[in-house]
């Protein structure tokens, strides 16, 4: 009998197959519009520190957003993947501050080269940009399955922190329903090139 975990695996395969056909150029075409959508959110007007990530492959581009946040004087923290798949954090200081890191022999990440701030650094941010493969209008997010951001969300909850949680997706990745398990924590806003979608029951 199949359950949410099987459904997640099947949907991941489907979505990753589509993303594998996208190029960096495809992703960057959406970067500017997504950056505008994020920065137009009322909650972002007073943000002083934001946790984000550097997009890779077919992910919607984050480069324009990172640079605009930095230009506005917002402190941007980027993740550093630890051996146990938890996340440390370091400050983004521009594209030249990023170093390429190979993971699992197949994925190249771009991580900040500056001083590590510790996994708890994320509990002091005003907003968290989470990577994802899909989401629905209830805010349920499908990640890649490594659990890194599940730990981040659990850490935020344990600390009593309530930053704005955002996910950037391609239009076809916004679904009617995403399979979820009890430990999954919803995001507040899903942003796609065609719209800004607030999770039901949030603002």
- CA end-to-end distance (rounded Å), the chain: 37
Is residue 23 within a helix (H) or strand (E), and if so which, with residue range? none
User: Does residue 146 have a known ligand-binding role?
Assistant: yes
User: Does residue 9 have a known ligand-binding role?
Assistant: yes
- Beta carbons within 10 angstroms of residue 119's beta carbon: 17
User: Does residue 92 have a known ligand-binding role?
Assistant: no
User: Does residue 165 have a known ligand-binding role?
Assistant: no
User: Does residue 12 have a known ligand-binding role?
Assistant: yes
Residue carrying structure tokens 């600390």: 159
Q: What's the Rg (C-alpha) of the chain?
A: 16
- The answer to whether 73 and 92 are in contact (CB under 8 A) is no
List alpha helices for 40-161, DSSP H.
63-71, 148-158
User: Does residue 144 have a known ligand-binding role?
Assistant: yes
Angstrom distance (rounded) from CA 164 to CA 189: 8
User: Does residue 94 have a known ligand-binding role?
Assistant: no
**Residue 145: phi, psi to the nearest 5?**
100, 0
User: Does residue 8 have a known ligand-binding role?
Assistant: yes
User: Does residue 53 have a known ligand-binding role?
Assistant: no
CA angle 150, 155, 159 (to 5 degrees): 150
User: Does residue 141 have a known ligand-binding role?
Assistant: yes
Residues annotated as binding site?
Answer: 8-12, 54, 59, 141-149
Residues annotated as binding site for ATP?
Answer: 8-12, 141-149
Residues annotated as binding site for substrate?
Answer: 54, 59
């Amino acid at each position: 009998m199949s359950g949410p975990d099987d459904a997640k695996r099947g949907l991941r395969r489907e979505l990753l197959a589509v993303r594998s056909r996208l190029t960096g150029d495809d992703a960057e075409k959406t970067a500017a519009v997504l950056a505008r959508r994020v920065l137009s959110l009322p909650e972002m007007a007073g943000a002083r520190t934001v946790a984000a990530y550097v997009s890779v492959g077919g992910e919607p581009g984050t480069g324009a957003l990172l640079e605009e946040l930095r230009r506005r004087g917002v402190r941007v923290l980027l993740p550093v993947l630890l051996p146990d798949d938890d996340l440390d954090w370091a400050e983004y200081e521009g594209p030249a501050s990023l170093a390429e890191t190979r993971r699992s022999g197949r994925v190249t990440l771009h991580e900040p080269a500056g001083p590590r701030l510790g996994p708890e650094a994320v509990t002091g941010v005003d907003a968290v940009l989470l990577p994802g493969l899909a989401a629905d209008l209830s805010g349920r997010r499908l990640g890649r399955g490594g659990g890194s951001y599940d730990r981040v969300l659990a850490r935020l909850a344990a600390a009593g922190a309530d930053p704005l949680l955002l996910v950037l997706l391609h239009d076809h990745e916004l679904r009617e329903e995403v399979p979820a398990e009890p430990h999954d924590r919803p995001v507040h806003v899903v942003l796609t090139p065609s719209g800004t979608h607030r999770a039901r029951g949030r603002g």
